[in-house]
Amino acid sequence: MDRIPVFVGLDYHQNLVQVCVEDAKGQVLLNQPCDNDWLAIRTLAETHGRVVRASIEACCGAANLAEELVEKTGWNVDLAHPGYVARMRLNPDKHDWGDARMLADLERVGYLPRVWLAPAYIRELRRLVRYRQQLVAERKNAKLRIGALLRDHRIRNAPARRWTRRWLWWLQEYEGLPDASRWIMECYLARLQGIGQELKLVEKRIAAFTEEDPVVQRLLELPGVGPVTAWLLRSEIGRFDRFQTGKQLSRFCGLTPRNASSGQRQADAGLIKAGNPHLRAVLIQAAHRLINHDARWNAFGQRLQSAGKPYSVVVAAVANRWIRWLFHQMVSQRSAA
């Protein structure tokens, strides 16, 4: 068997994987589909040489295949950022043959935009946390529909504040709705109750899943950080030391200003559109709590407001500075340990 060094690009699909093998000079030795199985991929690629590195675009299922290839073949496998890879494509056409070759070529020349391959524990925690987020979104949707139904019938005589126990009890007993609307309201209320019970179950499951996680326990010790924030930070960031600076972490979280300068014009265009939008939203909420309940961050916010900054900008700046501070806290503690 020829043992020349080769580079492999894998275009992932549910049933098949397009495998492209290139030598060190960029010559395509192989580009054909095979079964979505680590053994079939290894057998096909290693018939042409010794695999130096392999790359696969990050998508649903790709991380599991990449982990199998790392563990069972010993390959160095990188996950590629699909958005950046698409921007590098010079050809307007898109097909599996070209996608696999693009990945192999970027890996060969060292220009592959890599993303972190999270371990199985972090991926499982992400599934739990994102499932909780889906339930929260469903609960919000059910509440909006209940409110819309009440507005449609111009019901404004509620005896208590919305979503309190007293208000929900009044809504269940209210007789001023027509039969069809009454039935719809009962369906919404039953759905709302079921989602609430399911949320309690998933939060209990996440708490048990992270009970012995030292990173989560350390995050819970910090002021302004509750269980939901700690779970989300752990699941989305994973390891803090995979970033070189706090600024990199802040940019990953979508909390740094986006530069919009051109020529003589120097300007910002709001926060960058990067990372998980729910992570950014939770960090903005944490910044609100810090401004209201932590003397240090309240003083920082007051200085910015005194300088004429709008409150929305102040909150974003606090979130940005706090996540950078958190990076140094978590990395220094890991180094000391």
The boundaries of the domain holding residue 163 are 121-209
Amino acid found at 28: V
CA nearest 12: which of 46, 41, 50? 41
Summarised one tens digit per residue, pLDDT across range 204-228 is 999 999 999 999 999 999 988 999 9
Residue 316: the pLDDT is 92
DSSP strand E in the chain: where? Answer: 5-12, 16-23, 28-35, 50-57, 77-80, 114-115, 257-259, 268-271
Residue 333: the pLDDT is 66
**CATH code, 108:** 3.30.420.40
Ordered DSSP codes for 261-303? -BTTB--EEEE---S-HHHHHHHHHHHHHHHHH-HHHHHHHHH
Residue 1: the pLDDT is 44
- Please report where in the chains the tokens 């910090």 appear, as a residue: 222
For the chain, the average pLDDT equals 90
| Gap between the Cα atoms of 51 and 5, Å rounded | 6
Q: What token pair was written down for 306?
A: 């005194």
Domain boundary among 115, 143, 167: 115
Q: How many domains does the chain have?
A: 3
| Gap between the Cα atoms of 260 and 222, Å rounded | 35
Domain boundary among 57, 85, 115: 115
* Residues 223 and 286 placed together within one structural domain of the fold: yes
Q: How many CA atoms lie within 13 A of 183 on its CB side?
A: 2
Please give the span between the terminal C-alpha atoms of the chain, in angstroms, as a whole number: 47
Residue 176: the pLDDT is 86
The whole model's pTM is what? 0.86
Domain boundary among 158, 178, 209: 209
* Residues 73 and 44 placed together within one structural domain of the fold: yes
| Gap between the Cα atoms of 197 and 174, Å rounded | 23
Summarised one tens digit per residue, pLDDT across range 100-140 is 999 999 999 999 999 999 999 999 999 999 999 999 999 99
* Residues 199 and 269 placed together within one structural domain of the fold: no
Residue 264: the pLDDT is 66
* Residues 136 and 221 placed together within one structural domain of the fold: no
Lowest mean pLDDT among 62-71, 85-94, 298-307: 85-94
Q: Is 186 left (phi over 0), alpha (psi -120 to 50) or beta?
A: alpha
* Residues 301 and 201 placed together within one structural domain of the fold: no
